[in-house]
Structure 1
Amino acid sequence: MASGATIHTFTVQLADVDRGVYDELALRVARHPSETDAFMMTRVLAYCLEFEEGIAFGEGISTTNEPAIVVRDATGRLTSWIEVGAPDAERLHFGSKLADRTLVYTHRDPAKVLAPWAGKRIHNAEAITLHSFDPGFVDSAVAVLERRNTATLSITERQLYLDLNGSTLTSTIHDHRIV
């Protein structure tokens, strides 16, 4: 855990109808002093939306050889490289060579995230998906964020319904391709 990090806990009732995933998650998330609340909230959402056996938060923003979230199979082999925010093309290239699947979740304007990747060498770029939320969705979630959080997260037909600490928020999960 990073020194000076702020610890947030999340108890999440997850119902992902699209993938048939139903679980209760107890997450302990360290927010590094240089990490924004919006980045951390996007990291938590990405973890929940990609939840499966073997998922874990990466070592943190100070580690360059791991993404925000990793998924490993039972043998320890990296199966998913999940970035958050606006990683550079070189990082996506590196991650997509290591994992079967590479994706990005962003709280930023997706057009501004995609623009720097145009024309850059990114391994298997056609298979990488950038996921974003409706404008203002993550900011609204951050506005009700506490150190101890209770959430119900439901996903159906790419529509996300989030009840966070008594506030109800909704967003479509938008998918963008690099190529």
Structure 2
Amino acid sequence: MALKPTIYKLNLDLADSDRHHYQNYQLTLAQHPSETAERMVVRILAFALNASEALTFTKGISTSDEPDIWAKEDNGTIALWVEVGQPKPDRIRKAVNQAAQVRLYAFGKTADTWWNIEGKDMPSSDKLQVARFQWQNVVDLAQNLDRTIRWSISIAGGEMYVDTGSGVEHVVLGGF
């Protein structure tokens, strides 16, 4: 018998003054049995950084032909492909060929090593943006996840602050 995903309800108050996007989102996230809490946190942070009316979570980790998050045009073309983790260059090359924009958010203790090995083989494209979350930020946010998550995220001047109700985490997003 296959394990079922764990369902989370996310109430996200987003104030992104960099993009002039202010919205409350009521989202449902499915955490695949093989997905860590840290990976799910990065999916939430990536959603906040790219939030729009068209942005949606996909089947993600349980399918190889979809990203973690995407935005599609009315005609079905992929406007934005958002990938989290440490994917192989072939996966990112596929994304660059299918989407108007691709954003990759890496994370983890081994992110630097992964980039040193895989980074040179990533496609060189104006469509691709790569960034990395600081591992300790992700770990701190993942420690107190409840099945109902109520976060307020503020983004201003390239800085991200996540209010979890029990504290505020200054999330650092950097490059390689």
Q: TM-score, normalised by structure 2?
A: 0.91
Question: Does residue 150 of structure 1 match 2:150?
Answer: yes
RMSD over aligned CA atoms reads 1.8
Q: TM-score, normalised by structure 1?
A: 0.89
Find the counterpart in structure 2 of residue 130 from structure 1.
130
Q: 5+ residue gaps in structure 1?
A: none
Report the residue type matching 2:18 in the other structure.
Answer: D
Q: Is the 8 A contact 1:129 1:175 kept in 2?
A: no
Between stretches 52-61 and 150-159, larger displacement belongs to 52-61
Report the residue type matching 1:62 in the other structure.
Answer: S
- Go from structure 1 to structure 2 and tell me whether the alpha carbon gap of 1:17 and 1:161 turns closer, same or farther (over 3 Å shift): same
Find the counterpart in structure 1 of residue 118 from structure 2.
117
Q: Is the 8 A contact 1:14 1:152 kept in 2?
A: yes
Supply the distance in 1 between the matched residues of 2:127 and 2:117 (Cα, whole angstroms). 17
Q: 5+ residue gaps in structure 2?
A: none
Following TM superposition, the consecutive aligned residue runs of length 4 or more in structure 1 with deviations greater than 3 angstroms are 124-127
Report the residue type matching 1:112 in the other structure.
Answer: T
Percent identity reads 27
Aligned pair count?
A: 174
Find the counterpart in structure 2 of residue 53 from structure 1.
53
Supply the distance in 1 between the matched residues of 2:113 and 2:131 (Cα, whole angstroms). 13
Supply the distance in 1 between the matched residues of 2:60 and 2:92 (Cα, whole angstroms). 16
